[in-house]
Amino acid sequence: MNWQKNVRGKVRSGELLCSHTSFKIGGPARFFVEPKDEDDLKCLIIQLKRDKIPFLIIGAGSNLLVHDAGIKKAVIHLSASRFKHIRFFSESVEAGAATPLSSLVRAAAKKGLSGIEFLIGIPGTLGAGLVMNAGISEKAVGKAAVLRAIGDTVVWVRVMDRNGRIKILQKKEIRFGYRHSGLSHYIVLGAKLKLKKAAASEVEGKIREYISYRRQSQDYSFPSAGCIFKNPAGHSAGKLIDMCGLKGAQRGGACISKKHANFILNCKNAKARDVIALMALMKRSVRHRFKITLEPEIKLWN
C-alpha cells in the first residue's frame, strides 16, 4: 500500500490499543498512524479515503473501550509536537488538539489566567475534551449545582473535515450539549478558549479544590475509563447503580468500584467482554428498579 510510504510520521500495523487506553484493554488496530503535522494528516486522510480504509481518531484513550479482537480500521493518533502548541493572549489561550487538559490548566494558572480550572484531573486531551464536551458538576466544590463544560469557554474550534479541508467553527455553530458536541464528524486540530485574569495564587487554590474533590470521589486504584454512563437528567448514574447494590460486582477481571458505582475497574487483566457484561448488568438493574435507561458515556470500538 503506497499511502504508508507517503506518510512522514509513524505508521504501525497491528499496534495493540491496550497500550493507548486508560482502561488498558483492547486488541490490535489494523494501522496506527501518527502524522507529523497538518499537511501530513491531510495527505493521510485523502489517501485512506481513496483506498476505502475507514479511520478513527484516538486522543488519550481515556473514555474508550476497545474490543479484544481489535479493529479493522486505521487509528490516527495526533501525538506530534505540532499538535501540542499552547499560545496565551491577554484573556484567552489557543492550543493544539493533543494538549493534555491538565497541562493546559496548569500553564494557564502560571500565566494568572482563570476559567478552566474545573478541567484539572480530566485525563484527556483538548481535542477529545471538546468532542465530548468534558466537564464536571459545580456542586462538587460546594457551589450551586450547575454543569460546567469546556464548551462554555470556547471562542472557536479549528477542525479538518473528512476531505482534508480546514475550517474554523465559532462556538454557536458547534451545538455543545451534555457530554456531546457537533464536532464528532471532524478531526479537531485546536481551539481558542476564553479566560480571565486572576491572581496566580487564586487559580492555584481553585485547582487544589477540584483535585481534592476528584481524589475523594473518584476511584484511581485500578485502570478505568472514568464514568461509564452519562448522568440521566436530574440523577447521578453512580448513585442509581449504587442503590441497586452493585458496588463490588465482578465479571472476569473487571469490577464495579466500591468507591463510585459509575466506575468499572480493570482489576486483573480484564477483557472488553467483562466490561460489557458489567455494563449490561448495570443498565438492566437500573432500568428494572428505576425505569431509567442509562446511556454510555464511554465510546465502544469494535
Contact between 129 and ligand EPU per CB under 6 A:
no
Contact between 40 and ligand EPU per CB under 6 A:
no
Is-contact 84 153, C-beta < 8 A? no
Distance CA 45, CA 25 (A): 26
Contact between 140 and ligand EPU per CB under 6 A:
yes
Task: Single out the segment in contact with ligand EPU by CB under 6 A; choices: 109-117, 189-197, 259-267, 270-278.
Answer: 259-267
For residues 95, 96, 102, 103, the Cα torsion angle rounded to the nearest 10 degrees is -80
Task: Single out the segment in contact with ligand EPU by CB under 6 A; choices: 76-84, 185-193, 200-208, 229-237.
Answer: 229-237
Q: State which of residues 24, 111, 230, 299 lies at the interface with ligand EPU (CB under 6 A).
A: 230
Is-contact 174 181, C-beta < 8 A? yes
Count of chain residues binding ligand EPU (CB under 6 A): 18
Q: How far is the CB of 136 from ligand EPU (least distance, A)?
A: 3
The sign of the dihedral angle between the CA atoms of 289, 293, 297, 302 is: positive
Q: How far is the CB of 12 from ligand EPU (least distance, A)?
A: 29
Specify the residue, 252 or 296, whose C-beta has the smaller distance to ligand EPU.
Answer: 296
Task: Single out the segment in contact with ligand EPU by CB under 6 A; choices: 34-42, 188-196, 256-264, 283-291.
Answer: 256-264
Contact between 237 and ligand EPU per CB under 6 A:
yes
User: Hey, which residues does 227 pair with through a beta bridge?
Assistant: 263
Contact between 227 and ligand EPU per CB under 6 A:
yes
| Strands of 10-13's sheet in order across | 10-13, 29-34, 71-77, 55-58
For residues 37, 43, 44, 45, the Cα torsion angle rounded to the nearest 10 degrees is 110
Name which of 231, 252, 302 is nearest 54 in CA terms: 302
Length of the chain: 302
Q: How far is the CB of 292 from ligand EPU (least distance, A)?
A: 13
Residues that bind ligand EPU (CB under 6 A): 136-137, 140, 217-218, 226-227, 230-231, 236-239, 242, 260-262, 297
